[in-house]
Amino acid sequence: MGVADASLVEIVPGAHAWVQPEGGWWVNNAGLVAAEDGSRAMVVDTCVSSARTLRFLEAAAEATGGAPVRMAVNTHQHGDHTYGNHLLPGGTVIAAQEKARDAIVEDPFFDDVPRVWEPMPDWSDAVRRPPELTFREELTLHVGGVRAEVRHPGYTAHTPGDAVVWLPEQRVLYAGDLVFNRVTPLIFMGSLEGARRAVEWLDGFGADHLVPGHGALLEGAGIAGALAEQERYYAFVARTAERGRKDGIGPLEAARGADLGEFASWPDAERIVLNLHRAYADAEGREMDMVAAFTDTLAFTGGPLPCDA
Residue 47 Cβ vs Zn ion, minimum distance, rounded to whole Å: 12
Cβ proximity of 96 and 178 under 8 Å = no
Q: Please, which residue, 177 or 270, has the CB nearer to Zn ion?
A: 177
* Closest CA relative to residue 260, chosen from 164, 155, 156, 185: 185
Q: Please, which residue, 177 or 229, has the CB nearer to Zn ion?
A: 177
Could you say which residues in the range 88-147 bind Zn ion, by CB under 5 A? none
Q: How many residues bind Zn ion (CB under 5 A)?
A: 2
End-to-end CA distance of the chain: 9
- N residues, the chain: 309
Question: How far is the C-alpha of 53 from the C-alpha of 32, rounded, in Å?
Answer: 12
Residue 214 Cβ vs Zn ion, minimum distance, rounded to whole Å: 8
Rule CB under 5 A: is residue 78 a binding residue for Zn ion? yes
Question: How far is the C-alpha of 271 from the C-alpha of 236, rounded, in Å?
Answer: 13
* Binding segment (CB under 5 A) for Zn ion, from list 73-81, 115-123, 229-237, 288-296: 73-81
Contact flags string 168-187 toward Zn ion, x per CB under 5 A: ---------x----------
What dihedral do alpha carbons 102, 194, 21, 6 form, nearest 10°? -40
Rule CB under 5 A: is residue 271 a binding residue for Zn ion? no
Q: How many CB atoms lie within 10 A of CB 102?
A: 16
Q: Please, which residue, 41 or 186, has the CB nearer to Zn ion?
A: 186
Residue 103, Cα to own-chain centre: how many angstroms?
Answer: 14
Question: How far is the C-alpha of 301 from the C-alpha of 43, rounded, in Å?
Answer: 35
Rule CB under 5 A: is residue 55 a binding residue for Zn ion? no
Q: Please, which residue, 55 or 78, has the CB nearer to Zn ion?
A: 78
* Binding segment (CB under 5 A) for Zn ion, from list 29-37, 74-82, 246-254, 264-272: 74-82
Residue 179 Cβ vs Zn ion, minimum distance, rounded to whole Å: 11
Q: Please, which residue, 177 or 268, has the CB nearer to Zn ion?
A: 177
Question: How far is the C-alpha of 209 from the C-alpha of 97, rounded, in Å?
Answer: 23
Q: Which positions touch Zn ion (CB under 5 A)?
A: 78, 177
